[in-house]
Amino acid sequence: MVFSVSAGAQDILLKPHGPSGIYMIGERVGWTMSAGPSSPNLTYTLKRNGAEVVASGPVVWRDGEALVETNADAPAMWRLEVSTAPGGELVAQAGAAVAPEKMVGEATKPADFDGFWSAKLSELQAIPVDSVLTPGAGGRADVDYATLTLSNIRGARVHGQIAHPARPGGFPAVLILQWAGGPYPLQKSWVTDRAAEGWLALNIMPHDIPCDLPKNFYDSLPRLLKDYQSIGDTDRNRSYFLGMFLGAWRAADYLSKRSDWDGKTLVVLGPSMGGMQAFAVAALHPRVTHLIAHTPAGCDALASQRGRAAGYPNWNAGDSRVAVTAPYFDPVNFADRIHARALVSMGFIDTVTPASGIWMAFNRLAGPKEVVPMIETPHGHQAKPGQEKAYNDRRDAWLAALVSGKEPGGPPSANLPFAESGK
């Protein structure tokens, strides 16, 4: 595999030593760099786990090529950054993983983690569901569409949209959970397209606001709500993510109690912050059968204390109160409770949701699991067309199998130097 990245009028080509981008301990990790007929003045930085600078300096060209490499002496993620000058414009980047199946991180799970979530679920379940369905036009004759609200803790509401095939029957269900940003409205097609495939599909907001108002409503929301990830970050009982996770659990529970659910297949699916929520729901709700998490956020929440790059929600782990709160919402700490079959992806050059933390969450999953390592892929909103194809193809294959009543086939793992888990 060769990566081509524009650097001014030239293309910088990066060819990894190992085409999968995954190495075993003892192998030499590296890249061969080329830049066509001339050799531009560039600098490189090599980082371990996205934070620790291990090597840096000018790119040394010999016969139009340059070599950057290091010893693979321990489980870690590696990141190569090529710039026009120290601290200058980034013109090329690449990532690699060393023995990622051995990346588990340090123990950060609070002793009362299970008790905390059990108490919060009890608090939620003591509140009547109070579901309100408002039928609407879904834009497809073969699909029934409605908006939905449900009760949440402390007077809040869960807002979403739901669709299913316009015929009687029991349908497999999918709960779609949203990425960060905005807030923003939900698009009808996100559920109607799944319903047309045969799903009972529910897509919810991560916020206590309507899901289908004009864009100017969301644009005019207070700045505080747009910075929601920091709300309550010093208190587990006031964290914004507490209501978000419990609202997602209530949505899954609502699906599991509908008469048109087939009683067999309940999928939780989400990218980034949606994947973070999906981990929590899959861990906490016993009816969830499958987890599909694309570059899940929140993993390894205390990474900055351990010399690793942290990602969204970008909690300040240097604050002792945040360091106590964050582990209650870290997917790594939910993972060992998840026995549902899981599909998890990570991008090797993703700085929003670093791969090191996602590997830690993946490795702790207790059930059958499949990983989609994307060697050349940044975070979703930064990815170019085709860079997320490996994940999209596997997600679509999983959903196509599940909606037809089958389990997904085995992963295309021939290019991985370690075996997939099939327990």
Indicate the pTM of the whole model.
Answer: 0.94
- Mean pLDDT rounded to a whole number for the chain: 92
| 84 and 169 part of one domain | no
The pLDDT tens digits of the residues spanning 223-240 come to 888 899 999 999 999 999
The pLDDT assigned to 5 comes to 42
DSSP conformation class of 418: S
Q: Do 254 and 387 fall into the same domain?
A: yes
| Same-domain status, 171 and 295 | yes
Let me know if residue 136 belongs to a domain: yes
Is the pLDDT at 52 greater than 80, yes or no? Answer: yes
Kindly tell me if the per-residue pLDDT of 69 is higher than 90: yes
The string of DSSP codes covering 340-381 is SEEEEEEETT-SSS-HHHHHHHHHH--S-EEEEEETT---GG
How does strand 290-294 pair with strand 261-271? Answer: parallel
Are 203 and 62 members of one domain? no
111 burial (CB, 10 Å; 0-12 / 13-18 / 19+) is: exposed
**Whether residue 382 is found in the same domain as residue 288:** yes
Q: Are 186 and 307 members of one domain?
A: yes
Tokens of 352: 């929003």
Inside any domain, residue 414? no
Establish if 373 belongs to a structural domain. Answer: yes
Report pLDDT digits (tens) over 79-115: 999 998 877 888 889 999 999 999 999 989 999 999 9
Note whether 14 and 151 are same-domain residues.
no
* Residue 302 and residue 341 in one domain: yes
Does residue 305 form part of some domain? yes
Q: What are phi and psi of 212, to 5 degrees?
A: -135, 35
Instruction: Please check whether residues 76 and 190 belong to one and the same domain.
Output: no
- Phi, psi at 352, each rounded to 5°: -85, -45
pLDDT at 375 over 80: yes
Q: Is residue 363 part of a domain?
A: yes
Q: Which amino acid is at 80?
A: L
Instruction: Quote the pLDDT of residue 224.
Output: 81
**Local confidence band at 35 (pLDDT 50, 70, 90 cut-offs):** confident
Same domain? For 317 and 363 the reply is: yes
Range of the domain at 249: 113-403
- Other beta carbons within 10 angstroms of residue 420's beta carbon come to 14
Token code pair at residue 174: 């999918």
419 inside domain: no
Residue 8 has pLDDT above 70, yes or no: no
pLDDT digits (tens, 9 = 90+) for 162-203: 999 999 989 999 999 999 998 999 999 999 999 999 999 999
In total, how many domains does the chain have? 2
Encode pLDDT of 195-223 as tens digits: 999 999 999 999 999 999 999 999 999 98
The CATH number assigned to the domain holding 70 equals 2.60.40.1930
Is 248 a domain residue?
yes
Contacts 24+ apart (CB under 8 A), 125-133: 127/151, 127/152, 127/153, 129/250, 129/253, 129/254, 131/254, 133/162
- Cα-based distances in Å from 325 to 59, 116, 235, 301, 360: 43, 12, 6, 10, 19
Does 124 lie in the same domain as 46?
no
More confident position, 326 or 4 = 326
| Domain CATH number, residue 166 | 3.40.50.1820
Q: Say yes or no: 311 and 379 in one domain.
A: yes
62 in a structural domain: yes
